[in-house]
Structure 1
């Protein structure tokens, strides 16, 4: 997966976010147990437990969401898979920034023409623009 002939850049989910997801799953599991007498409450808390546990499991299985080497990129795909994308297939790397309700969010977009990979700051553990700049510099050797 990695090119051993040169440097490899990696971006991963921050450990503190993983711990937070695990803690939330445990809290929701406790709420599910407490809500056994209330069917709707138990269903909602149980669904939240499953969702948070699933997100934490994904972070455990695939902590590195994006890596780059001299050959190209490896990008997370689906729940816990990944896809190797050679540099020649990468058409564009950019950050899509949106402002909504006074909050600004950005997504790193890696466009191959056939696929579009979207990664957030939470996926990367770093600001999207910083990652885009590092990828561009790494790709061009600047």
Structure 2
């Protein structure tokens, strides 16, 4: 195994700012509907849009960096905190390619063995702000040989 320099992948900052701006706009829309005409369907729709954009913006802000490589292993962050995984616990790294709406997308899959339990972590381009294939290529050299 080679010595690893720290590498990090996070959602793109511009996309997170855009999500916060969208949340503010959706909240303003919701307030206008709430104070204006009695349109319960519109109010519900505006509330759901506001909540969805707010959660996405919060996730993009809190879960930074989403994936980091350290000398001892991986660090994966989410809304509820971070998880450190030593290199021996990383079982496999692969890229899943699927075709949706006529466009090919890739997902990075990390198979982890934590406390005797297998865990699957799936990260996409929005999580990493990079091509999952490139991230997988950066992680693979540090995996213990089996």
Same fold per superposition (TM over 0.5): yes
Deviation at 1:109, TM superposition (A): 0.3
Partner of residue 101, structure 1 = 101
Distance 1:63 1:112 in 2: 20
When normalised by structure 2's length, the TM-score is 0.85
Return the TM-score normalized by structure 1. 0.87
4+ residue segments displaced more than 4 Å? none
Cα offset, 1:34, TM superposition? 2.6
Give the SS at the match of 2:59. Answer: helix
The structure that has the greater radius of gyration is 2
2:135 corresponds, among 131, 135, 142, to 131
Distance change >3 Å, CA 92–CA 6, structure 1 → 2: closer
Alignment length (residue pairs): 135
Can you give the 5+ residue segments of structure 2 that lack an aligned partner in the other structure? none
1:68 and 1:56, CA in 2 relative to 1: closer, same or farther beyond 3 A? same
Deviation at 1:18?
Answer: 0.3
Matching residue of 1:16: 14
Report deviation, 1:139.
4.2
Query: Is 2:125–2:132's contact at 8 Å kept on the other side of the alignment?
Result: yes
**1:6 Cα shift?**
5.8
Where does structure 1 lack aligned partners over 5 or more consecutive residues? none
Greater length-normalized contact order (CA 8 Å, ≥ 6 residues apart): 2
